Amino acid sequence: MSQTHSTSKTTAWIESLRPRTLPLALASIITGSALAAWMNHFQLDIALMALLTAALLQILSNLANDYGDAIKGSDTETRIGPNRGMQKGLISRTQMKRALILTIVLTVASGIGLIAIACKKPEDILGFLALGLMAIVASISYTVGRKPYGYMGLGDISVLIFFGWLSVAGTYYLQAGAFDSVVMLPATACGLLATAVLNINNLRDIDSDRMNGKNTLAVRLGPLWGRRYHFMLLAGALLCLILFALFDLRSWVGWLFILAVPLLYRHAMYVLHELTAVAMRPMLEQMVKGALLTNLLFAVGVILS
């Protein structure tokens, strides 16, 4: 194997892992841990294990997405997004299957380790084992299987649930040992921002997805309403954080997330007024940065307050 081919294959695997998506997956764990620290329940070992498990789940989702889209023919030359390893022919179906199995094993091991150090009650152990299994199944079945839910426009609600409600509230619960409804506003905000990232991705690929039968919510809504929906996602996330700061925080430091508003506003206005799929290409990275910045500023503000 030549050095050039080896390098190309390595690059293809890195592209399939999509490391740029990992910070957003970790943001929900950081938010949940910040809320736990705010309530004097923070536990570093649990937070670190939760970060590792979330990262592995995101990698599993990325690999499964590449595999599912490739075997269903959704990744074609008409797709605007970056070419992927299987699409380029640099990663075979068998190799991707092996990578998926390895990632599942690592994810299960990390999840069991997290449960072992965090859960003391039998009902908590069983509950989080069930949630972990659901998360693994959801990561894979987004594009894999006879009826992948990502092809039916259900990806957005899945992201809201797993990247928002379950990730943030679950991280808080694992450290606090109890649920507190106060975490649900930040959890919803985190989930809405993650959903906005998915929506930008789907707006970028809207034409190729429509042609290949991948009926994402963006495809179902169309370019115009898909952009209005995007604006509502961002506005809804900020509203949740504002309500939390108003009713639960007693320090101006808790409003640090407001510093991200200009970036989110410029992004939203661009998306609303640029109606071509090609125009969405640079917006994906911008949305990831905006969501991550908002979550980090919120987490810092909560801890300092």
Q: Please answer whether residues 194 and 28 qualify as being in contact, where contact means their C-beta atoms are separated by less than 8 angstroms.
A: yes
Q: How confident is the model at residue 8 (pLDDT cuts 50, 70, 90)?
A: confident
Domain-located, residue 120: yes
Domain-located, residue 123: yes
The candidate with the shortest Cα–Cα distance to 188, out of 170, 226, 161, 156, is: 161
Q: Supply 216's token pair.
A: 């994402």
- C-alpha 272 chain-centroid distance: 22
Count of structural domains, the chain: 1
Chain-wide mean pLDDT for the chain? 90
The burial of 155, by beta-carbon neighbours within 10 Å (0-12 exposed, 13-18 middle, 19 or more buried), is given as buried
227-277 pLDDT tens trace: 999 999 999 999 999 999 999 988 899 999 999 999 999 999 999 999 898
Domain-located, residue 14: no
The burial of 137, by beta-carbon neighbours within 10 Å (0-12 exposed, 13-18 middle, 19 or more buried), is given as exposed
Over residues 96-124, the mean pLDDT reads 94
Domain-located, residue 12: no
Domain-located, residue 10: no
What is the pTM (predicted TM-score) of this model? 0.90
Q: How confident is the model at residue 75 (pLDDT cuts 50, 70, 90)?
A: low
Domain-located, residue 1: no
Domain housing 120: 20-304
Domain-located, residue 4: no
In whole angstroms, what is the distance from residue 302 CA to residue 36 CA? Answer: 10
13-60 pLDDT tens trace: 888 888 888 888 899 999 999 999 999 999 999 999 999 999 999 999
182-236 pLDDT tens trace: 999 999 999 999 999 999 999 999 988 888 888 999 999 999 999 999 999 999 9
Domain-located, residue 121: yes
pLDDT score at 6: 53
pLDDT score at 11: 80
Looking at per-residue confidence, does 305 or 46 come out higher? 46
Residue 7 has pLDDT above 60, yes or no: no
169-179 pLDDT tens trace: 999 999 999 99
